[in-house]
Amino acid sequence: MSTASAPGSDPGSGSGLQELEQDYARIRQQSESLCESLAIEDFCIQTIPEVSPTKWHLAHVSWFFEAMILEPFLKGYQCYNPRYAFLFNSYYYTVGEMHPRPRRGHLSRPTVEEIYQYRAWVDQHMGELLADVGHPERQAILQRATIGLHHEQQHQELLLTDIKHVLAANPLRPTYDNLPVPQGEAGGTEWIEFEGGLKEIGATGDHFAYDNELPRHSVYIAPYRLASRLVTNGEYMEFMEAGGYQQSEHWLSDGWTTINREGWQAPLYWFHEDGQWCYMTLGGPRAVDENSPVCHVSYYEADAYARWAGKRLPTEWEWEAAAGDQFILGNLRETGYLHPAPAGDPAVSHSGRLSQMYGDVWEWTQSPYTPYPGFRPLSGALGEYNGKFMCNQMVLRGGSCVTAEDHLRSTYRNFFYPHERWQFMGLRLAEDME
């Protein structure tokens, strides 16, 4: 997930500064609140290279504030532990070398307690720096702090995604927390028509956005239709029961190779028990709800389902143009479900005829993750993250049930490799208008 940014409105003016300080305290506390239900042993596990231990997430986001803000801007600042830079740098080579990602779970030290002490140290010094209204680099500090808070929100999402994988790998099938169960019917699918033409895509620069959302530019979109809601578990089960995983004609070549090599026959976390499909959730094992959106499918699986259904995945420009000025409403982290919900769930609000545009699952698009025309990465370390990953990945839109509401916008571009599916990933169908 991206971490660089283009600054929007002045974060250091008047109430903007006060809001930033409040957001800093709130978001940093949220990261720790998300860990309250975990046992100390849960913090250390790494089940696959893509999954990072919980304690690594807590330390990495603190290292980000330390390396990107405190070290360059707080006079006389002393690192909490100079060796932490090697352990908690992710992939900022301009900053220095880093511990290999697949081996983050090999480390018993520093302890969880020491990492919480590290977080407190960083918070103390960030408070001191933010309070220095006369600092000559104040604007750069505030802009980087804004980036750091959005970066921490990304890792809050990854923390939940990763701990789900950790708990699901345990034969005891432990729960993350006692979570409410979504309710409601999916309802029928309507096909919403959108006129083609020249559309403006990308962030305007008036508010916070990552650099991969810029510059705003024009694209031509042919007339198209979008399904009014996400594809459900029940609909995906029809694909499975029809032999979708055994029929090569639905699959891209790399997808067919992948599912056969990995032995995939269902979405991630699905298993058979007592003659029915069940899946692992953050609330523990449950029977598959046929009305809820299908989740934890790779791009290959999403594309194969769309082909089998006689449809296609939308482009990222079609998705953004359809999202338009819709309010960011839906089954996001704030609902407390931490699991996709049916389109008709009474606890989830939607805007307009298109439902589930935000929350539930990140929606795969058919668009490769490439730079917008005129894209320029930020200078220095903050420019490393987005630009160098613009190859071999696909764009997803809309956020998920573990995404914070105030972290999203219609121009947000998430990206993952097409074989990955441990993230909360699903799909919406599209079709051309004749």
Task: Give CA–CA dist 317/140, Å, rounded.
Answer: 32
pLDDT tens figures, 241-265: 999 999 999 999 999 999 999 999 9
CATH 2.40.30.20 at 15-168, yes or no: no
Q: For the residues 428-433, what does the mean pLDDT come to?
A: 97
DSSP for 371-422 reads: PPTT--PPSSGGGHHHHTT-SS-EEEES--TTS-GGG--TT--EEE-TT--S
Query: Quick one: pLDDT band at residue 389, thresholds 50, 70, 90?
Result: confident
Q: Which amino acid, residue 394?
A: M
- In a 13 Å sphere around the CA of 400, the CA atoms on its Cβ side amount to 28
With contact defined as beta carbons under 8 Å apart, do 396 and 364 qualify?
A: yes
- CATH no. for 191-432: 3.90.1580.10
Give the C-alpha separation, 213 to 419, whole Å.
24
| In the predicted structure, residue 11 carries a pLDDT above the cut 60 | no
Two tokens, residue 44: 């250390």
Which pLDDT score, from 0 to 100, does residue 17 have? 78
pLDDT at site 351: 65
What are the residue ranges spanned by the domains of the chain? 15-168, 191-432
326-337 average pLDDT score: 95
Look at residue 9 and tell me whether its pLDDT is greater than 80. Answer: no
Sign of CA dihedral 2, 340, 431, 419: positive
The answer to whether the beta carbons of residues 302 and 236 sit under 8 Å apart is no
pLDDT of residue 1: 37
Question: What are the tens digits of pLDDT across the range 52-92?
Answer: 999 999 999 999 999 999 999 999 999 999 999 999 999 89
Percent of the chain with pLDDT over 70: 95
C-beta separation of 147 from 209 below 8 A? no
pLDDT computed for residue 214 by the predictor: 94
Of 382 and 348, the structure prediction assigns the larger pLDDT to 348
CB-based contact 70:77 (threshold 8 Å): yes
Q: How far apart are CA 144 and CA 5, in angstroms?
A: 8
Q: Does residue 93 register a pLDDT over 50?
A: yes
Mean pLDDT, rounded, of the chain: 94
At residue 426, does pLDDT exceed 60?
A: yes
Determine the average pLDDT of the residues in 116-125.
98
Which of 92-101, 225-234, 376-385 bottoms out in mean pLDDT, i.e. has the lowest? Answer: 376-385
pLDDT band at 335 (very low <50, low <70, confident <90, very high): very high
What per-residue confidence (pLDDT) applies to 3? 34
State how far the Cα of 89 lies from the Cα of 325, in Å rounded to an integer. Answer: 37
363, 394 contact by CB (below 8 A)? no
* pLDDT score, position 7: 35
CB 250 within 8 A of CB 304: yes
Beta bridge partners of 317: none
pLDDT of residue 89: 96
Identify whether the C-beta of residue 215 lies closer than 8 Å to the C-beta of residue 202. Answer: yes
Quick check: 12 pLDDT over 70? Answer: no
- pLDDT tens, 311-329? 999 999 999 999 987 899 9
> What's the token pair of residue 9?
């409105």
pLDDT mean over 83-111:
95
pLDDT at 279: 98
Q: What pLDDT sits at residue 253?
A: 98
236 with 426: CB under 8 angstroms? no
